[in-house]
Amino acid sequence: MKDARISHLRARRIWDSRGRPTLEAQVELSDGSIGLGQAPAGASTGRLEAVELRDGDRDIDHGGFDIQNALRQCEDLLRPRLLGQRVETQAVIDQHLIDADDDPNKSRIGANTTIAISIACAKAAAISQGLPLYEHLASSSLKTDEKAGQPKRWQLPLPQIQIFGGGAHAGKRIDIQDLMITCPAASSVAEALSWTASVYRAAGEIMRKRRSSFGVADEGGWWPDFKRNEDALDCLVESIEEAGLRPGEQVWIALDIAATQWFSKGTYQLALESRELKAADIIDMLSEWVERYPIVSIEDPLAEDDDDGFVTFTKALGHRLQVVGDDFLVTNAQRIRKAAAMGAANAVLLKPNQRGTLTETYHAWLAAQELGYEGIVSARSGETEDQSIVHLAIGWRVGQLKVGSFSRGERMVKWNELLRLEDQLGDRAYFAGRNALAPFRSR
């Protein structure tokens, strides 16, 4: 690689998919290469996530969500640290960002500040080397398949795609936060997305015929209008069938419960049905759903601090489906190791802004792989047109990708990038499909 060093760093305020301010970092190298990184933001956030730096004064501008403090940290504190640094090694760049804050959760400079810069540096380095981002990010552990005698083939992730939004993504109209589908029986990304488009369209037609209140939630899924949580599951199965597909054979259901959002004063509150449940009741309810519906993945079935509940749930259902930790694991290698020692969860959601740098996100994925956990690279409810997570999933060989629904530009730009890469890579890549999900690999 050329001796490309950071010659300029600037930050600007842009707007995310919910119309809230977010930060874009622009990194320019001495060879003229330029990388842009944009920080996403979540609505449903774990207590142990790295901290977003927001201005917080609701009386001044943008409801307290402005980022003038983050912009100042980037310009005044981080730019002097980074100017002149080489960018070919992401870990070195990210360590400068980590060292700038004495809090691992980045409460001083903000994980939104650091992740935008981390991504911008990676993109600039990839451009400088003349490489696609996924190839620049690829781990040195991705070696030639000596047994087959072939060069390594890139893995294309299996999509998880929201059909109905709920919870914090849709004004808590239903308790379940995401009702998604995944298509492990598809032969390619293109086929999986085509099937998803049919299901998404069928779900919309069903809602229209029922004269339901209409629209889309934060991540592009249909705005829910159901009297019970099970009604949403019934409608999702009906949508798959209306699309001419077979539930539990071609198309499966993935749920994000986001149970931390339900938890209050020691019990779980299901607002839609005016029910108050204990952890054992939640486990029984979800176990019944698994029996009745073709569910292959459940994310955050218990609250982020409910270790015992997670262990019990994983012991009961972990052999049948993915038990995914989001708020529970917060893309944190230490949390993943602790969970594995307890026997809690068997898959991790990887959200780069939960940690604040690409390197820390990658360390979480390395820990997950060592412990036999599946991985899902995930977007957030407040997104931008940044396509980096598609490249992360491919470059790091993560088996699944979750970017929201099948509408809205900030979502479709990512699905279309995945399609584009599938086409460009051709025989140099394969679709993860069934192999992305442990329950199917054993069948």
Q: Which fold has domain 6-131?
A: Enolase-like; domain 1 (3.30.390)
pLDDT at 110 over 80: yes
Question: Which pLDDT score is estimated for 340?
Answer: 98
- Exposure string of 407-435, with b = 16+ CB inside 10 Å and e = fewer, is bbebbbbbbebbbebbeebeeebebbbee
pLDDT at 148 over 50: no
Average pLDDT over residues 17-34: 96
Question: Which pLDDT score is estimated for 147?
Answer: 46
Residue spans of the domains in the chain: they are: 6-131, 154-441
Question: Which pLDDT score is estimated for 141?
Answer: 38
pLDDT at 382 over 80: yes
Six token digits for residue 159: 């999509």
CATH architecture for segment(s) 154-441: Alpha-Beta Barrel (3.20)
pLDDT at 146 over 50: no
First to last CA, the chain: 45
pLDDT at 38 over 90: yes
List, for residues 385-403, the tens digit of each pLDDT value.
Answer: 999 999 999 999 999 999 9
- Exposure string of 6-15, with b = 16+ CB inside 10 Å and e = fewer, is beebebeebe
351 noted as active-site residue: yes
Question: Which pLDDT score is estimated for 144?
Answer: 39
List, for residues 315-339, the tens digit of each pLDDT value.
Answer: 999 999 999 999 999 999 999 999 9
Show the DSSP H helices in 77-110 as ranges. Answer: 79-82, 90-99
Confidence (pTM): 0.94
pLDDT at 46 over 80: no
pLDDT band at residue 45 using 50, 70 and 90 as cut-offs: confident
Show the DSSP H helices in 105-149 as ranges. Answer: 111-129, 133-137
pLDDT at 57 over 80: no
338 noted as active-site residue: no
Any long-range contacts for 26-32 (C-beta under 8 Å, 24+ apart)?
26/120, 27/82, 27/87, 27/117, 27/120, 27/121, 27/123, 27/124, 28/124, 29/4, 29/5, 29/87, 29/124, 29/125, 29/128, 30/3, 30/4, 30/5, 30/6, 31/2, 31/4, 31/128
Question: Which pLDDT score is estimated for 171?
Answer: 60
Active-site hit among 24, 52, 219, 299: 219
Six token digits for residue 298: 């459940």
Active-site hit among 123, 351, 402, 414: 351
Three-state secondary structure call for residue 284: helix
DSSP 8-class letter at 86: B
Q: DSSP characters for 157-179?
A: PEEEEEEEE-GGGTTTSSS-SEE
Question: Which pLDDT score is estimated for 140?
Answer: 39
3-state secondary structure 365-377: HHHHHHCCCEEEE
